Structure 1
Amino acid sequence: MVNKIDFVVTWVNGHDSEWQNKKQHYLFTEDKKLNSDSRYRDWNIFKYWFRAVEEHAPWVNRVILITEGHLPDWLNVTYEKIFVVKHSDYIPEEWLPTFNSNVIELNIHRIEELSEHFVLFNDDMFINKSVVPEDFFENDLPKDVGVFSPQVPFRGGIASISLNNIEVINDYFSTYQILKLYGKKFFRLFYGKHLIKNLVVLPWDKVLGFFDHHLPIAYKKSTFKKLWYIEEDTLTKTSKSRFRNKDNVNHWLMRYWQLATGQFSPRTVKFGNYYDIFEECDSVIEEIKKPKYSLICINDGENSSEFESIKEKIIFAFEQRYPTKSQFEK
């Protein structure tokens, strides 16, 4: 059993005028689609993230909150389980300021206080039912889904970044090699219909991609250090990008590495679920009220006309589910 597991979560206050001005100063030459305002706006539901952690994962060692410098005004920074880290605390100065989540996440191994075993969240990823440490790590290995999946690029998406990750993986591994060594981890009945994907890729020696479930990911800090050791130029190139662009890699590279090396323990695909907050608002609210999944991601989209009305509905649902302040709050 793993003794210490940290949760790492990144957050930005998109309403901070100083941060907005700084962002606009650098944004004029960048890909606006990959860096739209919706990727930074605040739904005012972050406090429920902490309430859910306290209720469903009281065993967590601590929560490491990564922020540009601003903090939620309700955050209790004196609570022993909260550890606030600013970008400037661990990202090399020459890469700052950064508005690129890939840079922020790829460099987290530089946080000295971060434990070897941790789970990386975005602020739209919630624990939705009670979980135990073994849901994230088993026999010292991160729990994950071993499923291949061809990457499908589309305009405005991040498949190009995933493909960049796969380019690196194909320098070191092949589908045949992975399945020969770790096939038992990739062919599990609890992968359900996704098992078909592992059969479809068999004719190709090169890795076509991995299934990305858009949920919190269990990692080992040593995996990040390993990739930085062997792919320093690749990761440095991304870290120099102030904004996300199609030439980047992201932290999924570390996840793919864990999968390709068999350094994971298989977990059912039914452990979590991904929702589009605009297209599936009613489903999100129902999931918050009557949870079926232990982890959920409620992803923001480009819709702006319905933002305020849907935001109110989501806040109301979370307040009904978690009406009591956590120790993470003042």
Structure 2
Amino acid sequence: MSPYEIDLVYLWVDGGDPEWLAKKREYLENKTSLNIEATSKARVADNDELRYSLRSAEKYVPWIRKVFIVTDEQKPKWLNLKNEKVEVIDIRALIPPEALPCYNSVIIEHYLYKIPGLSEHFLYANDDMFFNAKIGPEFFFNSEGMPIVRLQRAFLGNWMSRIRGIFNIPTNIYRKTIDRAARLIKEKFGKYYSGTPHHNIDSYLKTDYRNVVEKDFKDEILSTLINHLRSEHDIQRIIYSYYALVKKRGVLRYVSRKESCRIRLQKPDFMDYIMSYNPVLFCLNDTHRATDKDRERVKPFLEALFPEKSGYEL
């Protein structure tokens, strides 16, 4: 067992909730030139992934002290709030008022460290990320309590994306926000990290979050609060991992698909990925290329992997 407590944090939204949808439509009503990456259904579609992610957590990482689910005035109808290990946190308790209304998860992610009672060591997961093997705390933190920073190597495709970004030739928002984080670290600390996010469950120290947001990159983070929708001017949360590395408070590890696997929803072979790689972690990633027909395949797939109801469910 770990000598320190470790919490697990999720962001969750029910994009099919009529009240929430009405608020968002009202906000978007007079907006023009909207980027499909920022407004895509993939950003908010609830395919019931959180239910199964929690099943995976209870099964494979039972040592988690507490689960925090950050939402926008919502809560999953099936969630068992009598379970003392789970707590729902509204974004208004975390983000500055000028960031509201907020339909940009990147902004919310910068303020996770403000969750009341959050442990110094914590894991962060999107609701479409899953544990797929029994692992201990040492998978995420070393013996000194430093986070294991998992990155993907910058293959040619990643480098080309960066080059396109440099010369202002179109690339996607996601890559631009990663590039901005890397550049900020380079400008301040003289070290450029070319590794990119493995797009899966990550480990952090609350202290690093606080130092980035309130001290070292305070102005840069504050300047993004006006981005109520995803923007290429955002700063991706990879900045906290780069920061941990540059401050020698993190341990770099490049991942393989056996350790961390990203399965895109528009691909037809979900189970093939699991059978081929048997990954420790996997993400079932919804994208703007996915269709509702693709989304219909999610629940049967997850039910096959995690059929047993967890204590987080009513």
Q: TM-score range by the shorter chain?
A: 0.7 to 0.9
* Cα distance between partner residues in 1 of 2:117 and 2:255: 31
Counterpart Cα distance in 2 of 1:96 and 1:173: 32
| CA RMSD, 1 decimal | 2.1
2:199 maps to which residue?
214
Aligned to 1:189: none
Q: Residues 256, 319 of structure 1: CA spacing in aligned structure 2 closer, same or farther, 3 A cutoff?
A: same
Say whether 1:140 aligns with 2:145.
yes
CA contact (8 A) 1:31 1:245 kept: no
List alignment gaps of at least 5 residues for structure 1: 176-206
Give the 5 Å matches for 1:161-200.
Answer: 161-175=177-191
Q: Distance in 1 between matches of 2:153 and 2:274?
A: 30
Partner of 1:186: none
Structure 2 segments unaligned to the other structure (5+ residues): none
Separation in structure 1 between the aligned mates of residue 254 and residue 75 of structure 2, nearest angstrom: 35
Q: 1:326 aligns with which of 284, 291, 310?
A: 310
Q: Using the TM superposition, give the Cα deviation of residue 3 of structure 1 relative to its aligned residue in structure 2, in angstroms.
A: 1.7
Q: Structure 1 counterpart of 2:172, which letter?
A: G
Task: Show the counterpart of 2:99.
Answer: 95
The Cα of 1:226 is off from its aligned counterpart by 0.7
Distance 1:236 1:104, change over 3 A: same
Aligned partner letter, 1:262 = K
Determine the structure 1 residue equivalent to 2:122.
Answer: 118
Aligned length: 295
Taking the TM superposition and a 5 Å limit, the aligned residue runs for 1:215-294 are: 215-228=200-213, 229-267=215-253, 269-270=255-256, 271-279=259-267, 281-282=268-269, 284-288=270-274, 292-294=278-280
Q: Which amino acid aligns with 1:168?
A: L
Is the CA contact (8 Å cut-off) linking 2:133 and 2:280 kept in structure 1? yes
Question: What letter corresponds to residue 106 of structure 2 in structure 1?
Answer: N
Partner of 2:36: 33
Normalising to structure 1: TM-score of the pair? 0.83
On the 8 A contact 2:181/2:236 being kept in 1, the answer is yes
Q: What is the CA-CA distance between 1:94 and the residue it aligns to?
A: 2.7
Question: What does residue 196 of structure 1 align with?
Answer: none
Q: Measure how far apart 1:209 and its partner are.
A: 2.9
CA distance 1:48–1:291, shift in 2 (3 Å): farther
Question: 1 CA distance for matches of 2:50 and 2:210?
Answer: 30
How much identity, in percent, do the aligned residues show? 28
In the TM superposition, what is the alpha-carbon distance from 1:324 to its structure 2 partner? 1.8
Q: Distance in 1 between matches of 2:63 and 2:128?
A: 21
Amino acid at match of 1:5: I
8 A Cα contact 1:30 1:243, kept in partner = no
Which residue is equivalent to 1:311? 295
Match of 2:47 in 1: 43
SS in 1 for 2:147: strand
TM, length-normalised to structure 2: 0.87
- CA deviation map 1:92-138 (0-9, x unaligned): 22322211111110011111311110011111111111111110111
Aligned match of 2:15: 14
Q: Which moved more, 1:137-146 or 1:81-90?
A: 137-146
Task: For residue 211 of structure 1, report the CA deviation from its aligned partner.
Answer: 2.4
